[in-house]
């Protein structure tokens, strides 16, 4: 597999090119090592190291691996980049240029043409990506992302970037230009049609024009259907092992193929149906990396629910303020809950998980042994087809305003 190829890449690189180039400051140490090891060669620079390999091993070596040399990129000799991404920060020296994510598309075209929001989103998606999935530099495209793994609680994955040929770059530019032309045709205002209304032969020309438009629309719809069937998030990826791509592909499907529907807000939504995502929790957690997620808030709120706690002050002290607005004096009084202390959110989710059906008094009471401990029962008698936690109990006459 690619993972098996990448794991020993550092060792292979050390054997192939690690001894082929040495930093100027360590030349003396490298020379001393070379004196005791016939397989170690010392060169004053990367070009000199490559020349040495060419002279001695031209008929033996098929590939040369270079470990984190910015000079290799400057020489324009790199065909592939094998990168191990580590989701943790360590103090170390970095002798490699940063790989900037692709910048978001400029907003100038939006200001000039005021295209529809759907067209703008599609164009941005097809031309530009950001965040984790835009790990590319100019001339390279992301072609492989492995599954997320961990070692000593340090998550990591493998990434491959391949240099684009001039032909590929030209084809990509042509595809983008064709797409922009198609979008301009569908959204452009045809002033000629308005002028022809006042011409003598308006009726005949109008019929002819309608026929032509219908043919163009049919052709365009067929082209769009073909595109939509193959469009996915980060289309350049060949190895699509990373589980988050399921979510990103679903977003691309919604934007490209979703059905426009009304909703209660009046804004409207695009939706698709019957989609399923599967994530393995063996070594990782399905947390989005393409946007900032308040991970501490996710964990602390879940633990707060598991404890059956109904005191929002306990959560707020940990820096998680998401329930504060639902437990202020003003909010409680506006809901007729004047008897509750500030911070008391009532018998909501966590309380129902641990004490379902118990009579609620306040956030300070001890409810041990009261009601049904749903979470405990599910853990002790777990079956995958019947796991269910009920966080809302509408039957007793209790005040659950926070859960509505």
End-to-end CA distance of the chain: 50
H or E stretch including 143?
A: strand 140-145
The length of the chain in residues reads 404
Residue 141 resides in a domain:
yes
- CA-angle at 34, arms to 96 and 20, nearest 5°: 35
On whether both 266 and 394 belong to a single domain, the answer is no
Taking CA atoms, 117 is separated from 122, 123, 184, 235, in Å, by 9, 10, 13, 21
**In the predicted model, what is the mean pLDDT of residues 374-402?**
69
On whether both 266 and 300 belong to a single domain, the answer is no
Domain CATH for 388: 3.30.572.10
Report how far residue 134's alpha carbon sits from residue 99's, in angstroms, rounded to the nearest whole number.
9
pLDDT of the residue at 29: 57
Q: In this model, does residue 213 exceed pLDDT 80?
A: yes
Residue 287 resides in a domain:
no
Report how far residue 219's alpha carbon sits from residue 278's, in angstroms, rounded to the nearest whole number.
37
On whether both 306 and 386 belong to a single domain, the answer is yes
pLDDT of the residue at 1: 36
**How many structural domains are present in the chain?**
3
On whether both 300 and 396 belong to a single domain, the answer is yes
On whether both 260 and 150 belong to a single domain, the answer is yes
Residue 84 resides in a domain:
no
On whether both 260 and 324 belong to a single domain, the answer is no
pLDDT of the residue at 285: 84
Q: In this model, does residue 21 exceed pLDDT 50?
A: no
Q: In this model, does residue 247 exceed pLDDT 60?
A: yes
Report how far residue 121's alpha carbon sits from residue 236's, in angstroms, rounded to the nearest whole number.
18
On whether both 114 and 251 belong to a single domain, the answer is yes
On whether both 37 and 114 belong to a single domain, the answer is no
- CA-angle at 348, arms to 337 and 314, nearest 5°: 85
Burial 103-142 (b: 16+ CB within 10 A, else e): eebeeeeeeeeebeeebbebbebbeebeebbbbbbeebbb
Residue 308 resides in a domain:
yes
Closest CA to 365 of 389, 339, 346: 346
Report how far residue 161's alpha carbon sits from residue 140's, in angstroms, rounded to the nearest whole number.
6
Burial of 317 (0-12, 13-18, 19+ CB in 10 A): exposed
DSSP 254-267: HHHHPEEE--TTSS
Phi and psi at 143, nearest 5°, equal: -120, -10
Closest CA to 399 of 353, 351, 360: 360
Q: In this model, does residue 131 exceed pLDDT 50?
A: no
Residue 315 resides in a domain:
yes
On whether both 113 and 259 belong to a single domain, the answer is yes
Determine the structural domain holding residue 374 and report its residue range: 295-403
Q: In this model, does residue 301 exceed pLDDT 80?
A: yes
On whether both 34 and 113 belong to a single domain, the answer is no
DSSP 13-79: HIIIIITT---GGGHHHHHHHHHH-TT----SSHHHHHHHHHHHHTTT-S-----S-HHHHHTT--S
For residue 234, the tally of other CB atoms under 10 A from its CB is 22
Q: How confident is the model at residue 299 (pLDDT cuts 50, 70, 90)?
A: very high
On whether both 62 and 128 belong to a single domain, the answer is no
Report how far residue 394's alpha carbon sits from residue 391's, in angstroms, rounded to the nearest whole number.
10
On whether both 335 and 392 belong to a single domain, the answer is yes
**pLDDT tens-digit series, residues 272-287:** 988 899 998 888 888 8
**In the predicted model, what is the mean pLDDT of residues 46-53?**
84
**In the predicted model, what is the mean pLDDT of residues 241-270?**
89
**In the predicted model, what is the mean pLDDT of residues 294-320?**
94
pLDDT of the residue at 394: 67
**pLDDT tens-digit series, residues 325-372:** 999 999 999 999 999 999 999 999 999 999 999 999 999 999 999 999
pLDDT of the residue at 105: 35
Cβ–Cβ under 8 Å, residues 72 and 80: no
Report how far residue 5's alpha carbon sits from residue 18's, in angstroms, rounded to the nearest whole number.
18
Residue 344 resides in a domain:
yes
Residue 101 resides in a domain:
no
Please tell me whether residue 287 adopts helix, strand or coil conformation: coil
Strands 154-163 and 149-151: antiparallel
Flag the least confident range among 51-60, 70-79, 132-141, 325-334. 132-141
Closest CA to 232 of 213, 205, 214, 250: 250
Report how far residue 122's alpha carbon sits from residue 227's, in angstroms, rounded to the nearest whole number.
11
Higher pLDDT, 17 or 38: 38
Residue 212 resides in a domain:
no
Q: In this model, does residue 253 exceed pLDDT 50?
A: yes
Report how far residue 99's alpha carbon sits from residue 137's, in angstroms, rounded to the nearest whole number.
6
């Amino acid at each position: 597999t690619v993972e098996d190829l990448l794991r020993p890449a550092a060792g292979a690189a050390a054997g192939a090119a690690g001894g082929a180039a040495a930093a100027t400051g360590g030349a003396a140490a490298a020379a001393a090592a070379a004196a005791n090891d016939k397989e170690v060669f010392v060169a004053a620079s990367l070009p000199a190291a490559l020349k040495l390999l060419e002279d001695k091993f031209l008929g033996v070596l098929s590939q040369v691996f270079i470990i984190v040399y910015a000079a290799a990129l400057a020489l324009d000799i790199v065909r592939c980049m094998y990168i191990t991404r580590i989701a943790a920060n360590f103090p170390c020296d970095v002798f490699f240029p940063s790989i900037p994510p692709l910048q978001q598309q400029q907003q100038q075209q939006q200001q000039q043409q005021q295209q529809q929001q759907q067209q703008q989103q599609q164009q941005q998606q097809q031309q530009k990506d950001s965040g984790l999935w835009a790990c590319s530099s100019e001339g390279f495209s992301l072609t492989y992302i492995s599954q997320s793994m961990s070692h000593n609680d340090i998550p990591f994955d493998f990434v491959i970037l391949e240099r684009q040929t001039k032909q590929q770059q030209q084809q990509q530019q042509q595809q983008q230009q064709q797409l922009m032309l198609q979008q301009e045709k569908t959204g452009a205002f045809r002033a000629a049609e308005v002028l022809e209304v006042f011409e003598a032969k308006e009726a005949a020309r109008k019929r002819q024009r309608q026929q032509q438009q219908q043919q163009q629309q049919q052709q365009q719809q067929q082209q769009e259907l073909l595109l939509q069937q193959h469009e996915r998030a980060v289309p350049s990826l060949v190895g699509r092992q990373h589980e988050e791509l399921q979510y990103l592909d679903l977003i691309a499907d919604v934007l490209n193929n979703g059905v426009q529907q009304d909703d209660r807000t009046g804004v409207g939504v695009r939706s698709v149906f019957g989609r399923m995502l599967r994530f393995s929790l063996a070594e990782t957690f399905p947390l989005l990396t393409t946007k900032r997620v308040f991970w501490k808030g996710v964990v602390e709120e879940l633990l707060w629910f598991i404890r059956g706690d109904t005191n929002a002050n306990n959560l707020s002290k940990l820096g998680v303020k998401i329930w504060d607005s639902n437990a202020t004096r003003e909010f409680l009084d506006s809901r007729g809950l004047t008897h509750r202390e500030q911070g008391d959110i009532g018998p909501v989710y966590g309380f129902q998980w641990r004490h379902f059906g118990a009579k609620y008094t306040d956030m300070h009471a001890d409810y041990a042994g009261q009601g049904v401990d749903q979470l405990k029962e599910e853990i002790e008698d777990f079956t995958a087809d019947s796991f269910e936690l009920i966080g809302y109990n509408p039957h007793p006459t209790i005040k659950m305003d926070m859960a509505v």
